[in-house]
Amino acid sequence: MYVLDHTLPYIILGMPELSKYDITIDCSKQKICQNGRNLNKSQNDKNHSNDKNKQNISLHISECKQINSHCSQTTEDQVNPPQSVTENKCELRKEVKDIIKNFDSVFSKDKYDVGALIVEPQRIVLNSDLPVSLKPYRTSSVEEQEIKSQVEKLLQAGLIKESNSPYSSPVTLAFKRDEGKKTRLCIDFRKLNALCKSDSEPLPLMDSLLDKLSKAKFFSSLDLASGYWHVPIHPKDTEKLAFCANFGLYEWCRLPFGIKVAPAIFNRLIRRILTKYKIDFACNYFDDIIVYSSSELEHWKHLKTIFEICETENIKLKLSKCVFAQAKISFLGNEIEQGKVSPNNANIETIKKLQPPTNVKELQRFLGSVNVYNKFIPQYAKLRYPLNQLLKKDVKFNWTNECQDAFDKLKETLTTKPVLNLYNPDVICHVFVDASQKSVGAVLKQPDASDILHPIAYHSRTLRDYEKNYAITELECLAIVDALDKFYYYLHGQKFVIHTDHAALVWLKNVKNLRANHPQTNGKVERVNQSLVTRLKCKNNSTSTKVPWTKLLESVTNEYNLTPHSITKYPPAYLLLGTLPYDSPICQNSYYEPVNEARNLALQRTIDYHNKNKIRYDARFVDKKFNPGDLVVYEDFHYPNTRKLTPPFSGPYEVIKQCSE
């Protein structure tokens, strides 16, 4: 606890912090006491502390807790300017303060002041109509009083209502880190979750979200206040969400925490809202929304747009968990700063304090914690190889010196704060590969403005049993194939360079005895197969005697590869291999340049062709509008157990109303 001089902005700690540290504020005597001890600094210390505090003070929004409800006029302790900007701190501080003040209605006043998304009430679909009914858990008098207090507040807020439902799930209290005691209301929905139908809404991938931040320099993190409670539940399904305490039965009118389908439902609704407004400067991971911009001025505009959307869609934010206009921000367990990403300090400290495991469960827990950051660890598979042996079935847990070394090495690698660059699609990639008798690994790197290569991601895996029989050249080749498969999302459609220390792999660049067939690609490109089928029909029907298509396939494939394409104007074999099968092998340096030019021309011609097709299609496409009362049919895609004679459409159905554009 620090008492700052009055020349600095005031900081007001919330009720939980004041009670936790036994802080007493006596306004009449202008005193702040802790455990009866006066914390006010003497006048002699003020001059010495002013300069130091002015340099070191950094106000963070999460440190400024609200007392009962936040004021309509935001004070300076609620804002935090970008760390990278020092000369304009006052101006930036005022900018954030003003934008928060203008959108005061967006921020929740307390835990129970939540918004209600303007969407159709959501359904909870069960596999069985048999109700789940459990008796309430026995609780202490203190816990029961806490539960009763929270239930009353939920009733007043309209989030729950009294119920006579045949369903019943017990309620309990869990530890809440913010308050340091068991105050989190939890409903035990495990029995109900077993009956819930799964929701196939795809959850966002962390790496995909991080890749979007590569060019951003300013970040803001927004947290929805009691996010799931924003979602209304259909009146027919509220009874399924009933919960019981020792003093009554209640049911949820909003989507509660703990229900199986809640994450998918909530993430879908927030994603659709951002998509509806065509937002490309923000993304969400459940109830966390990160706003990113490449410049300061642009960032204020983006924040204003997001706040306007929150007002329109009736979304409430939790001010104490929001962070505004930062050059460095913590997101999804990572620290992000201007194109760089590193593990979160708090998570690393937790891993650092872990003791050597004494059984398989503890080992699995350690590896699970470390595996989250495996892309930061070079040769990760090789390092954890001794530990993997202890996870095998029917293997006795024996912690050897080799296991201890692997354990220490993994912790050491993470605690040295590894840093990766975020992927930039505008920069060429370099793939470094290597292989050993136990594992294969790769590093994806990209150059910076000074042409210095920086790692983007690490990848490694242990060899399978049959792969351990490969020769060293085959292992090095396997490392390349494995790296290209792992980094496919970054390398597809891009130029890249492969680096290897195995000179024998140079033979891959030589062209000898080319054949027309390439079995590894059969079936992967349907369009090519369609072209081959068309050619086979023409060739087969042009002869007087019928020939099996298998005998014609090689010649048809060869002709296709050697015929200039109508769009690219080059034979596919030339674009792929840099030469043609009937050409004599030529030196690599003599054909690389024209091949690169040909590939660039082919790519540009393909893009131009697709653009022309798009213009032609858009000119003739008419968006069909359906009005209430219209009759429509429904096409059943991937319907199970279909037969050839099954009707492709079902219906007709009558349109009742239009729910969206």
- Under DSSP, is residue 524 helix (H, G, I), strand (E, B) or coil? coil
d(CA 225, CA 235): 23
Task: Provide the b/e sequence for 268-281 (b: ≥16 CB within 10 Å).
Answer: bbbeebbeeeebeb
Task: State yes or no: pLDDT of 43 exceeds 50.
Answer: no
Q: In what order do the strands lie in the sheet with 340-343?
A: 329-331, 334-337, 340-343, 420-421
d(CA 155, CA 123): 21
Q: Of 435 and 509, which is predicted with more confidence? A: 435
pLDDT confidence band for 128 (50 / 70 / 90)? confident
**Contact call for residues 216 and 326 (beta carbons, < 8 A):** no
Joined together, the tokens standing for residue 577 give: 């291999």
Question: 168: buried, middle or exposed (CB in 10 Å: 19+, 13-18, 0-12)?
Answer: buried
Phi, psi of 103 (to 5 degrees): -115, 45
Mean pLDDT value of segment 539-567: 79
Task: Check: pTM over 0.85? Answer yes or no.
Answer: no
Question: 384: buried, middle or exposed (CB in 10 Å: 19+, 13-18, 0-12)?
Answer: buried
Nearest by Cα to 422 from 338, 495, 498, 488:
338
Task: Provide the b/e sequence for 60-70 (b: ≥16 CB within 10 Å).
Answer: ebeebbbeeeb
Phi, psi of 258 (to 5 degrees): 100, -15
Task: Provide the b/e sequence for 112-123 (b: ≥16 CB within 10 Å).
Answer: bebbbbebeebe
Q: Give residue for tokens 């007043």.
A: 156
Host H or E run for residue 196: none
Task: State yes or no: pLDDT of 638 exceeds 70.
Answer: no
Nearest by Cα to 17 from 173, 180, 149:
180
Q: Give residue for tokens 């530990």.
A: 387
Q: Rounded to the nearest 10 degrees, what angle do helices 296-313 and 262-276 cross at?
A: 120
Joined together, the tokens standing for residue 65 give: 């807790």
Nearest by Cα to 290 from 345, 212, 348, 231:
212
d(CA 86, CA 55): 10
The domains found in the chain, sorted by start residue, are 94-332 (3.10.10.10), 360-510 (3.10.20.370), 537-619 (no CATH)
What is the structure's pLDDT at 13? 58
Task: State yes or no: pLDDT of 625 exceeds 60.
Answer: yes
Average pLDDT value over all residues in the chain: 79
Nearest by Cα to 631 from 658, 657, 652, 659:
652
Q: First vs last Cα of the chain: how many Å apart?
A: 54
Residue at 127: amino acid letter: N
Quick one: CA dihedral 361, 363, 365, 367, positive or negative?
negative
Task: State yes or no: pLDDT of 645 exceeds 70.
Answer: no
What is the structure's pLDDT at 545? 62
pLDDT in tens, 228-280: 999 999 999 999 999 999 889 999 999 998 898 999 999 999 999 998 888 88
pLDDT in tens, 594-617: 777 888 888 888 889 989 988 998
Q: SS3 for 88-151, per residue?
A: CHHHHHHHHHHHHHHCHHHECCCCCCCCCCCCCCECCCECCCCCCECCCCCCCHHHHHHHHHHH
Q: Give residue for tokens 């197969």.
A: 529
Quick one: CA dihedral 309, 311, 315, 319, positive or negative?
positive
Nearest by Cα to 556 from 522, 531, 523:
531
Q: How does DSSP assign 454-465, residue by residue? A: EEEEEEEEEPPT
Q: Are strands 282-285 and 248-252 parallel, antiparallel or unpaired?
A: unpaired
What is the structure's pLDDT at 521? 47
Mean pLDDT value of segment 132-156: 90
What number of other Cβ atoms are within 10 A of residue 200's Cβ?
6
Host H or E run for residue 605: helix 588-620
C-alpha distances out from residue 344 to 34, 52, 417, Å: 32, 27, 9
**What is the maximal distance between C-alpha atoms in the chain?**
111
Task: State yes or no: pLDDT of 374 exceeds 80.
Answer: yes
d(CA 416, CA 420): 13
Q: Of 582 and 75, which is predicted with more confidence? A: 582
pLDDT in tens, 58-100: 333 333 433 333 433 333 334 444 343 334 444 446 777 888 8
Question: 285: buried, middle or exposed (CB in 10 Å: 19+, 13-18, 0-12)?
Answer: middle
Residue 114 makes CB contacts below 8 A (sequence gap 6+) with 108, 157, 159, 225, 226, 229, 230, 254, 316
Residue at 650: amino acid letter: S
d(CA 445, CA 367): 26
pLDDT confidence band for 641 (50 / 70 / 90)? low
pLDDT in tens, 321-371: 888 888 888 888 888 988 889 888 888 888 888 889 888 899 998 888 888
Q: Of 628 and 37, which is predicted with more confidence? A: 628
Nearest by Cα to 489 from 434, 420, 423:
423
Mean pLDDT value of segment 560-571: 85
Q: Rounded to the nearest 10 degrees, what angle do helices 89-102 and 296-313 cross at?
A: 10
What number of other Cβ atoms are within 10 A of residue 74's Cβ?
21
d(CA 20, CA 26): 17
Q: Of 17 and 70, which is predicted with more confidence? A: 17
Nearest by Cα to 165 from 254, 243, 255:
243
Joined together, the tokens standing for residue 99 give: 């934008």
